[in-house]
Structure 1
Amino acid sequence: MSSQCSFRQTDEKHVTTEVELMEWSPKMDLLAVANIQGEVLLHRLSWQRVWSLPPPTENSKVKAIAWRTDGKVLAVGYISGEVLLCNVENAAILHTLHVQGEVCSMQWMCDSMAPAAGKKCYKDRSAEYLPKIPTLSKSYGSLSKGHSEENVEDMKKLADQIGLNILLIGNNDSIVKLFAYGIFPVGAVNLKQHKNTKAGRIISLSLSEDLHLLSLIVQSPKMEDQQDQDVYLLSFESTLLASRYEEVQALAFKYGHVVTLLEHLRVIIKQMSEAWEDILLEMDSKLVKFAEEKYMLGTGTVSNDFLELLLFGTPSDELQSFLLHDLTEKGLKKLGHSIETSYSNIQKLVLKHLQSVTQALIYHLNEIAGMASWYDRFGLLGLSSPSVQEAVQMAGAFMLKAVELQQVIDGSMKNFKAFFRWLYVVIQRLSQEAIPAELSKMTQQDLNFVTDFLKEYFTEEMDGSCKSGFKLEKVGQYLKHEELQEPLPNTDNPWLKFVNSSQLLQESPVLFKPQVRQSLVQVEDNLRTAINVALTKPSSAIGQSLQCSGSSYLFTYQNMEEKEEKNKLLKPKFTHFTVCNQQAYQYVVFTASCSPSDYLYLVRQKTHAGSDGADISVVKLKFGCLGTTNREESGRDDRYCIPSYHICFVMLYTLC
């Protein structure tokens, strides 16, 4: 009998580093393993390694692991408070969360109240109206690590999600945070702000499948100078979340779209900055030697020599030597092609990517604004129409700033082409080569373009740094975290004249208001702030609605982790599950002592608390054997030792 009821070891695997945490995938034969070095390894049942994820920073240890219910995303929580959502296929970082304090526990649950077909309060139809977001080319610049370009619209892996799933994160400072699909914040609880509750380290947590009950296992020191730890079960009613789960799901999908577009926006601006820096480096690489000679001889500046050449047609000795021997005709063509490519990259990033992403962002924010106007469904969640409209306005201002940048780039490219065409003619003339007929003629407009180029892109004085003095401020100022030094003049714009002449139009909520003095990067920061203010209000509203319905003392144990390093894993264990029949119950199963333990406790509580409070039933199970268990004394075979389970039903608490 003993051999029939026992577990049998089938295999044994060896690891090179001590393992701290392990978690099986709920859908596939995948095992996530975290070791003491902060690495996360994904293995198959055959122990084939699928991938490994290094720690984000040095000394970052993994404190919790949780699988999304479909097994496609893995959440990894670190001691630093950082939580990474990883794509199971390739370990790509889909999203990053930052929580206060140290991550102590995580659970990813799925609701059991999937809406019937055709009964959803919202259907996302953005794919029918919006063009597909173009993928970024690596030729524009380096892509961020972990930034996937396979499917920009579904970078967060939300497209195939049907029901609502919520990631719960507990820390060591009495704070619990809830994230729909692991992305959208839908609630936060600070135990220190609730009366009659114990604050402490949250070692386990669970949300019932019907979303009505949030259960927390809290570890609190018995006395400040002792190692004994009191463990409590705290219950919170989440009625608002349960009654508005369809609205939360709709907002979470929209939030996923918005966050994805914002991340894509940041990558685009980064590549624009890299292309801008490439232009500066190319010019500096050619002009720095000439600028250094001018500075050492004290005979003027680079810009003065070019202006004299433009006005009088005669170059200085240093400039002539530079043009004929250092720059040369071939070098000028190569330099011009390189700079033109960088200019074109910036222009394509603005026209093809920046504007398409901004248009999609405005579309999704307008849909959220429509939700905010539906007060009966979304008003209770704290979604505020004025704050969402402010976010829409900032998105419109960002689009206007992108159009303004495009105008500046167009003007800069005209000046740049005119300057290099003129310089090519000068080199040909100094080399006594034939000048093509189409280049020999120079109009007054071309002369103005060259003058503007020299005026705008060369500093007037040199310093001891021996740099060329070349600058690209008209474009570069839009990519800095500071106000524009040379904003685009708009005094001749007839539309702006018309708007400024009408007080009604100036105050219209429909028209986007330009941010004249701010750079593109500053407007982007304002946009992120406005979106964060608008879309985090539901988290505050739901968090405030979570009310503690019961606090129960479970047991006291001694913190073995501080006494013996070898016993650090021998802690009391907890697990949660929900049974939904005619009456939904949430169960908590735990051991009250360090492993191995002879007793198992099963706590049951209703997810819907009645008027008289939440009844909590506790069952204590003792594992032992019937008959003689000492082989030496009895001399009998194990097959006569029958396992038994002594069950004591005890009603411990009736909470009000």
Structure 2
Amino acid sequence: METEMEEEQETLEGTIPFQLQFDKPISSQIKIAEWNPEKDLLAMVTEESKIILHRFNWQRLWTISLGKCITSICWRPDGKALAVGLEDGTISLHDVENGKMLQSTKSHTVAVMCLNWEEGVQQPGDSNGNMFTYEDRTVRFFPSAPRVPRVPGLISADIGFMDDSEDSFRELSNSSHQFFNILCSGDKDGCICFSIFGIFPVGKINIHNSSFRTSLLDKDATYQLSNASIYKVALSKDLCHLIVMSSGELVEVRVEQENVDMSKNASFIGLHCLLLDTSIFQKRIKLCSLDPPPEEVILLNFDGAYAEDRGGKNELHQVAQHASNIEDLIEVVKGSLSVMRKQWSDAMKTFHEKFDSLSHLIVQHGLDSSSQEEFLSLLAGARTSSPLHQFLVNSLGEMGLKRVSKVIDGAGKELFHIVREHLQPAVEIIGFRIGELRGLSRWRARYRGIGLDEKLIDSTTEKAGMLLIQVERYLRVLAVVVYQFQNFFAWLSKCTKILMSEPSDQLPPFNSELVVTFLKHIYVQDHVRTLLDVFEVDNIVEIDQDTEQRLQELIQFGGFSDTKYLRRTLAKEFEQFEYSFKEAFLAPFSTISKKIYCKDLVPLFPVPSSPVSASLKIPSSITYYKDTCPVASTFQTSERGLGDYICFRIPEESFPDMPNVVGIVRGFMHDLSSIEKGYTTTMEAILLCIPSGYDCVDLSLYKENQIVLLLNEECTTSENSGNASMMMLQASDLPFVSLTRSTSPNHWKLHDLKASYFGYEWPLIKTWKLTTVLIAPVDTAVDLHMENEKVRSIPHSVHIPLAVSASRGVACVFAARKRVLVYILDEDEDEASDAE
């Protein structure tokens, strides 16, 4: 009814900005919402931490509940997967089609507060004209990668759903490997993790461990951000920079006679903005004669110890492509071993349930023999004992023997199928990909810089070869054991027929010698299961001296240096391979993590609480645009034409005398580099004063340098639920104030700006002049007026989040009375949708 009245009002008043698409009720309050970047889909998280996916027409596609508190979500750049951050530090990937979990990794130990997934800009060659292409040759020699075998006992509907999930995961892996992309995640303890394709962990940095050499309180000192909690991360389009918003306490670090003292004489608690150099993801940086900055103190200024990029940006892509595929195949091996273990255990349980009754009968009859001895006596032609006769004729019987034989035979066939179709192909592809990585590791000029260690890869290659031989041995053992069971059952079937005085001419023949071997070595020893188990000691499997001697001789011809591997089980060998693989790729992880460092820092505003609360809720948005900063466009770098906007609302608790203010900073990414190269500063800032009578609920940077503000009208009475408004303004048209630096490259200096602190004292205001600009100068604040901007009235009181889609030109607003409203932000988008 309200929607119809609003539409009638629009008709009477003429054109009103932002056409209302629909206004619908929702069952739960929404705390997080994100538009799919490629599809008309909106992912929402309810207060109960359920994930709901809706189409643009509000058709619900699926709802899932993870049973844990969800703290952040983010779409993959192609929109085919949703990353979900949880309170326990887990990041899970979900299929867009059905919400099925595709992968889950424990990247953090505490709550994942923010996620950002960015795809690298594809370039045909580098600026020097060096073209380096790499072909993944795996598809030329192997069929498509195997999948995890399905768990036995599932009904057909479950199998179909699982097959769809596996197909989705395969499509996720394959498509994600086509373009280089990185998932960034930040937690409430100040850790930021980086994963290529959202699967392969490639780096981690802890803000607590980063030190900043800068000037505060008119002295040059080293500072650290204590009690840091990551609030928002945004990776640039070229993957060279990461802007981080983090709460924390900036404290001075004093080094006196090798003792580190965390002095708090000059500590600043608040929200800070950091710039991390992540150019390792885009460039290959070659180490020169000078050493890099020490790990424990990373300077803000890059000291020139590295040479310029030589154009090889594909190394990480290639290594991550192989490594992430190997990790997928490791999961296939794990799943295969698990299913095989269960299948064979169930079969052996059935066998022992039937045949263990013979031991009880022997005891009941007062005999001192074992089951094997009774069977051997029968095989030798002796008179059948009473317990054995009773067991074969009554307890087991012909039908029972057939049933056990069928179970063992079926389990053997299933294990053969799993090995041939899943386990063995996975191990073979693993071996091939490890071999490819071994070849890359020997190209030291390109791959040593990202930590690909030749010796570690060689060790992993040997482990992969041992694993392949273990699989081959397992197939032989399985074939022998299954055949032994079949021969044993054939003999028992003939014996049973004779005891029951029935004809046995039509029964299959048996081998008496194999029956003896079975009773001595297989009846009580499960060799198939032994190879599938992990033991603490290696010498579980016995091998003859001749085999061990041949293994020693093979070393001279390039054989494995570890000659004891055949004494280990298949499962133990796989465990050692997995450990070796993780150890080999811990080196690139550590190397890349060390090359991610803080390049610049600027405090934004204080927070009057100690320690800083991890649940700090501040509307903010970070976006990168092309050609946004006129000064930055003249700065000749590889990032030419790419600028940043940082927009945030300043809490009233920070500056009670300046309520309802939004701050905007741009040019932060290039400012320090621009100054170092002798260019003009690129950093600019401005304040926006929200109209009187309104409160800024949320905000979002939009396309073409636009900002969308969500404003609640202040209620004068408790009876009125209140109204709201959505405002859009052009950020590039605002009168930004250019910020300059003095001779000290980290000391902000203001020119011709009148400062007024409104009676509020914060030590940071007097030293970090950017903060002075953001809170003090009256000349830099712009009063917003409702009649001068594009404003849409909303007949409800609203709350966070504001979900804006730049690709579709729409905004989703959530009302306090459990309603959702979707608006068309661009008229041309609406016309295009109608045409479609």
TM bin (shorter chain)? 0.7 to 0.9
SS in 2 for 1:314: coil
Report the equivalent of 1:108. Answer: 117
Question: Retained in 2: the 8 A contact 1:141–1:271?
Answer: no
Amino acid at match of 1:250: Q
Question: Retained in 2: the 8 A contact 1:571–1:593?
Answer: yes
Instruction: Give per-residue Cα distances to partners, 1:29-60, cap 9 Å, x unaligned.
Output: 111111233321211122222122221xx4x1
Asked whether 1:344 is paired with 2:413, we answer yes
Q: Give the Cα separation in 2 of the matches to 1:222 and 1:561.
A: 12
Unaligned 5+ runs, structure 2 = 1-9, 213-223, 252-263, 285-312, 628-632, 634-639, 654-658, 693-712, 717-727, 747-836
Asked whether 1:389 is paired with 2:458, we answer yes
Q: CA deviation at 1:212?
A: 2.0
Q: Give the Cα separation in 1 of the matches to 2:355 and 2:616.
A: 64
SS in 2 for 1:104: strand
Flag the 1:3–1:204 CA change in 2: closer, same or farther, 3 A. farther
Question: Retained in 2: the 8 A contact 1:26–1:69?
Answer: yes
Report the equivalent of 2:647. Answer: 589
Question: Retained in 2: the 8 A contact 1:247–1:377?
Answer: yes
What is the aligned counterpart of 2:336 among 252, 261, 268?
268
Instruction: Give per-residue Cα distances to partners, 1:142-200, cap 9 Å, x unaligned.
Output: 69996767559935433365432111000111110111111122221111211134141
Asked whether 1:75 is paired with 2:83, we answer yes
Q: Give the Cα separation in 1 of the matches to 2:671 and 2:281.
A: 13
Instruction: Give per-residue Cα distances to partners, 1:423-450, cap 9 Å, x unaligned.
Output: 01110110111121665x66xxx22321
Question: Retained in 1: the 8 A contact 2:274–2:601?
Answer: yes
Report the equivalent of 1:231. Answer: 271
Q: Give the Cα separation in 2 of the matches to 1:221 and 1:413.
A: 67
Flag the 1:457–1:289 CA change in 2: closer, same or farther, 3 A. same
Flag the 1:47–1:288 CA change in 2: closer, same or farther, 3 A. farther
Report the equivalent of 1:280. Answer: 348
Amino acid at match of 2:244: L
| 1:218-257 map, 5 Å | 218-220=246-248, 230-244=270-284, 245-257=313-325
Q: CA deviation at 1:544?
A: 0.6
SS in 1 for 2:470: helix
SS in 1 for 2:246: strand
Q: Give the Cα separation in 2 of the matches to 1:115 and 1:336.
A: 62
Q: Identity, % of aligned pairs? A: 21
Report the equivalent of 2:662. Answer: 599
Q: Give the Cα separation in 1 of the matches to 2:740 and 2:95.
A: 43
Q: CA deviation at 1:399?
A: 0.7
SS in 1 for 2:182: strand
| 1:567-586 map, 5 Å | 571-579=618-626, 582-586=640-644
Flag the 1:296–1:303 CA change in 2: closer, same or farther, 3 A. same
Q: CA deviation at 1:89?
A: 1.3
Cα RMSD, aligned residues only: 3.7
Flag the 1:113–1:152 CA change in 2: closer, same or farther, 3 A. closer
Amino acid at match of 1:103: V
Structure number with the higher helix fraction is 1
Flag the 1:72–1:503 CA change in 2: closer, same or farther, 3 A. closer
Flag the 1:36–1:454 CA change in 2: closer, same or farther, 3 A. farther
Report the equivalent of 1:618. Answer: 685
Q: Give the Cα separation in 2 of the matches to 1:153 and 1:376.
A: 35
Q: Give the Cα separation in 2 of the matches to 1:63 and 1:512.
A: 47
Q: Give the Cα separation in 1 of the matches to 2:122 and 2:146.
A: 36
Report the equivalent of 2:576. Answer: 526
| 1:629-644 map, 5 Å | none
Flag the 1:503–1:97 CA change in 2: closer, same or farther, 3 A. closer
| 1:64-463 map, 5 Å | 64-98=72-106, 99-116=108-125, 119-134=131-146, 138=150, 151=167, 154=170, 156-159=172-175, 161-196=177-212, 197-199=224-226, 200-220=228-248, 230-244=270-284, 245-295=313-363, 299-300=367-368, 301-436=370-505, 439=508, 446-459=511-524
Q: Give the Cα separation in 1 of the matches to 2:516 and 2:30.
A: 68
Amino acid at match of 1:572: P
Q: Give the Cα separation in 1 of the matches to 2:730 and 2:153.
A: 68
SS in 1 for 2:104: strand
Q: How many residues align?
A: 614
Amino acid at match of 1:77: G
Q: CA deviation at 1:204?
A: 0.4
Q: CA deviation at 1:311?
A: 3.3
Flag the 1:31–1:153 CA change in 2: closer, same or farther, 3 A. closer
Q: Give the Cα separation in 2 of the matches to 1:163 and 1:81.
A: 27
Q: Give the Cα separation in 1 of the matches to 2:83 and 2:325.
A: 20
Report the equivalent of 2:541. Answer: 487
Q: CA deviation at 1:558?
A: 5.5
Report the equivalent of 1:469. Answer: none
Unaligned 5+ runs, structure 1 = 460-471, 633-641
Report the equivalent of 1:474. Answer: 527
Q: CA deviation at 1:3?
A: 7.8
What is the aligned counterpart of 1:22 among 21, 33, 43?
33
SS in 2 for 1:158: helix
Report the equivalent of 2:636. Answer: none
Question: Retained in 2: the 8 A contact 1:589–1:600?
Answer: yes
Q: CA deviation at 1:379?
A: 1.5
Report the equivalent of 2:737. Answer: 650
Flag the 1:165–1:489 CA change in 2: closer, same or farther, 3 A. same
SS in 1 for 2:239: coil
Amino acid at match of 1:242: Q
SS in 1 for 2:27: coil
Amino acid at match of 1:43: H
Q: CA deviation at 1:456?
A: 2.9
Greater CA drift, 23-32 or 207-216: 207-216
Instruction: Give per-residue Cα distances to partners, 1:501-537, cap 9 Å, x unaligned.
Output: 36633xx377885612221111111111111122232
Question: TM-score scaled to structure 1, two decimals?
Answer: 0.84
Q: Give the Cα separation in 2 of the matches to 1:497 and 1:407.
A: 21
Q: Give the Cα separation in 2 of the matches to 1:492 and 1:100.
A: 51
Question: Retained in 2: the 8 A contact 1:397–1:513?
Answer: no
Q: CA deviation at 1:134?
A: 4.9
Instruction: Give per-residue Cα distances to partners, 1:313-339, cap 9 Å, x unaligned.
Output: 333222212211232212212221221
Structure number with the higher strand fraction is 2
Greater CA drift, 110-119 or 8-17: 110-119
